[in-house]
């Protein structure tokens, strides 16, 4: 069994999405079914619906080489979770389904529960990913709490 970090998995999804969005040759573009299957596999591998958070590794274990983030690295840290959130938004923007719309809220809620005070993070690039995601979530949903979060960051 290969063990992948969520960041690597997200990179693969981003390449696939970019190929589709850039209207790459048909041989590189994903079909709707392939995009859905890829997203569903990502969610089933990395998403913990109870914690409303994404695991750092596909084996859902803590690895000492990346023992940062909620529960000692079991779950992703700031910027990885923000990128996973964007993946959910990609799905919502493409499919417009209720489950991905609800997951936009759930990922945000999971992050704010894990990090109740984002100002404790000294890494402005981490917070930049969350501000960017919050603005996108606001654009997609119209929910003021996302705009307020972006402004706060």
The structural domains of the chain, with segments of one domain joined by +, span 6-152
Strand ranges (E), 1-150: 47-48, 53-54
The mean pLDDT value of the chain amounts to 86
pLDDT-derived band of residue 9, with 50, 70 and 90 as boundaries? low
From the CB of residue 6, how many other CB atoms can be counted at a distance below 10 Å?
24
% of the chain exceeding 90 in pLDDT: 61
The fold of the 6-152 domain, in CATH, is Glycosyltransferase (1.50.10)
* Degrees to nearest 5, angle at CA 86 with 131 and 46: 125
Kindly report whether the global pTM for this prediction surpasses the value 0.95. no
pLDDT at 78: 86
Looking at the predicted structure, is the pLDDT value of residue 21 above 70?
A: no
Cβ–Cβ < 8 Å for 72, 62? yes
pLDDT-derived band of residue 8, with 50, 70 and 90 as boundaries? low
Looking at the predicted structure, is the pLDDT value of residue 57 above 50?
A: yes
pLDDT at 58: 95
């Amino acid at each position: 069994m290969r063990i992948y970090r969520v960041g690597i998995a997200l990179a693969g999804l981003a390449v696939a999405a970019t190929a589709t969005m850039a209207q790459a040759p048909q041989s590189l573009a994903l079909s709707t079914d392939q995009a859905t299957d890829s997203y569903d596999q990502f969610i089933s591998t990395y998403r913990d619906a109870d914690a409303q958070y994404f695991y750092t590794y596909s084996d859902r274990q803590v690895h000492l080489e990346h023992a940062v983030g909620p529960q000692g690295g079991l779950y992703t840290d700031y910027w990885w979770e923000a990128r996973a959130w964007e993946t959910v938004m990609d799905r919502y923007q493409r499919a417009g389904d209720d489950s991905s719309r609800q997951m936009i809220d759930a990922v945000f809620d999971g992050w704010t529960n894990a990090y109740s005070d984002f100002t404790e993070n000294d890494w402005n690039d981490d917070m930049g990913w969350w501000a960017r995601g919050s603005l996108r979530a606001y654009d997609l949903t119209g929910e003021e709490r996302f705009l307020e979060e972006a402004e706060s960051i």
